[in-house]
Amino acid sequence: MPRAIVIRTSESAAAGEPVNTAVLEEVGAPPASDGPVLVDVAWSDLNYKDALALTGRPGVVRTPPLVAGIDLVGTVAASEDVRWRPGDVVVLNGTGLSETRNGGLTEQARVSGDFLVRVPEALTPARAAALGTAGYTAALCVLRLERAGLTSSPEQPILVTGATGGVGSIAILLLSAAGHHVAALTGREQEYGDYLRALGATTVVPRAELLGTGRPLQSQRWSAVVDTVGGEVLANAISQTRYGGTVTACGLAGSAALPASMVPFILRAVTLAGVDSVSAPLADREAAWARLARDVDPDVLDGLTETVPLAEAIDAASRLLAGGAHGRIAVNVRG
Ligand code: NDP
């Protein structure tokens, strides 16, 4: 019987509120209604959203019980979709996995063929999972900035916030591989300053510099921004972006609020660009994975990745949410 981590709901005795719990259990074969492509899953991984789901936080898993895991990497075992054949090695990110559909923290899944991406030859399945939604989202952000015309200089580097996290770490790798000057914003500069410089950051900036309520127009420090934390950090980053620069916003690790001013948009022509990985079109997914395969150094990726077996994924999720992790956590679902 395949094993999976399933999110189940029960009533809290105290408050009468529904409570989510993650349970590792044996499950039957995935139902045919999940999709026409049967995948023998080999790897999944832990993103911020997975950490929320696995620690029972509400908001991610909307129709429990559901298998957790917003990513899966594996081999097609059978397919009623002519685009996919047994033996194809595929990656699937988002598309409602672990939100409204059974997800990837399982040994076998049935999925739609519409958003599957072939794992590029330069990547092993383990490395594709190490990149996961975090890497794919980082690539979407970088591609978005490039479409807007991306430049950088020592005086105006590209700011990456939440730098030690999954999205931040891979964004630094991609930007430095493209020859950019990168400033890494982190709350843990003492502990991880060397780590960030090894990824390619040219400057490490303490998070405190972008906290608090700043003036609407501040000195133009950044040529562009990849923001993963939101809140005051995002508001100040917008106010510090150069004339005509673009700020991609994909995350809210700090806050879902945006206490910002209109002034940078109307006096500095700054663009705020939202980035979504869950429902991104197939062409964007393929472009992002091609960029990851081309530009991420496999040895550097291995160095920032911790691997855990399925049985340890729930504990690892708690650690991630408590700020006790950095880089990426890949999950060997058959380990
Ligand atoms: P991680 O948990 O790996 O990293 C988040 C990082 O944010 C931390 O390492 C930390 O970096 C920083 N951080 C944590 N808490 C705070 C805080 N209170 N204030 C400011 N910074 C904080 O998460 P991911 O990189 O996987 O994801 C980052 C965000 O992006 C999440 O909100 C996630 O949901 C979102 N996301 C959105 C996607 C989309 O489709 N739009 C796809 C993927 C992720 P440091 O210590 O260096 O400051």
For residue 288, give the nearest of 157, 115, 41, 124 by alpha carbon: 115
How far the first Cα of the chain sits from its last, in Å, is 15
pTM above 0.95, yes or no: yes
Which residue's alpha carbon is nearest to atom 33 within ligand 1? 251
For residue 6, give the nearest of 127, 115, 109, 134 by alpha carbon: 109
Amino acid at 132: G
Q: Who lines ligand 1 at CB under 6 A?
A: 47-49, 133-134, 137, 162-168, 186-188, 207, 228-229, 233, 250-254, 275-278, 320
Q: How far is CA 96 from the centre of its chain?
A: 14
Contact, 159 vs 290, CB < 8 A?
no
| Atom nearest to 280 CA in ligand 1 | 40
**pLDDT tens for the 335 residues of the chain, in order:** 899 999 999 876 566 677 899 999 999 999 999 999 999 999 999 999 999 999 999 899 999 999 999 999 999 999 999 999 999 999 999 999 999 999 999 999 999 999 999 999 999 999 999 999 999 999 999 999 999 999 999 999 999 999 999 999 999 999 999 999 999 999 999 999 999 999 999 999 999 999 999 999 999 999 999 999 999 999 999 999 999 999 999 999 999 999 999 999 999 999 999 999 999 999 999 999 999 999 999 999 999 999 999 999 999 999 999 988 899 999 999 98
* Ligand 1, pocket-test mutation among 133, 167, 279, most atoms within 8 A of CB: 167
> How far is the centre of ligand 1, averaged over its atoms, from the C-alpha of 137 (Å)?
12
For residue 330, give the nearest of 168, 236, 9, 310 by alpha carbon: 310
